[in-house]
Amino acid sequence: MLTQTQNFGCGLYAVANALDLDNFVTEERLLLSTNGINNGQLSNYMQQDGLNLYLDTLYCDHFNDKLPDSWVSINLTGDNNYMPFLIQVVINERYHLMGAKLFQDNTIDLLDSLQKEAIRCTLSDINKMYKKVMALYSFNYLEGAEYLYK
């Protein structure tokens, strides 16, 4: 798991950790993210790296502080071993994006670049660990088109 040593770039680390991309975080991308980074920029970087993926919103609520009960019990079905996704929280009045992997037993590996190791927990635990849980983002496949964000 990649960890960040500066107080910016969490979005780059979140994508890199969720998708196991050791080369996703570059010095250039870090410099461009010093004032923040958004999902459009992260999606462009995935396209630049040859991934046919973009970030899509699973859940977002800026008015409530926690994930509702219907979202803390997401179940993964099918043949997938895990589903990578991102979790946005607020820490010290700043947005923080973290990678995660959802497993079929409803547990997740929380891949917070501010921590040294992954944390095995549930989305219900995330509600308890953070004062504000704002959003969940999925990686969607981009077929036959390019995602352009300027």
Give me the tens of pLDDT residue by residue for the chain, a chain 150 residues long.
999 999 999 999 999 999 999 999 999 999 999 999 999 999 999 999 999 999 999 999 988 899 998 888 887 877 778 999 999 999 998 999 999 999 999 999 999 999 999 999 999 999 999 999 999 999 999 876 665 555
Q: Give the pLDDT of residue 148.
A: 58
Q: Give the pLDDT of residue 81.
A: 87
Q: Give the pLDDT of residue 143.
A: 75
Q: Give the pLDDT of residue 43.
A: 94
Which pair of structure tokens corresponds to residue 140? 């969607």
pTM: 0.93
Q: Give the pLDDT of residue 147.
A: 54
**7 backbone φψ class: left, alpha, beta (φ>0; ψ -120 to 50):** alpha
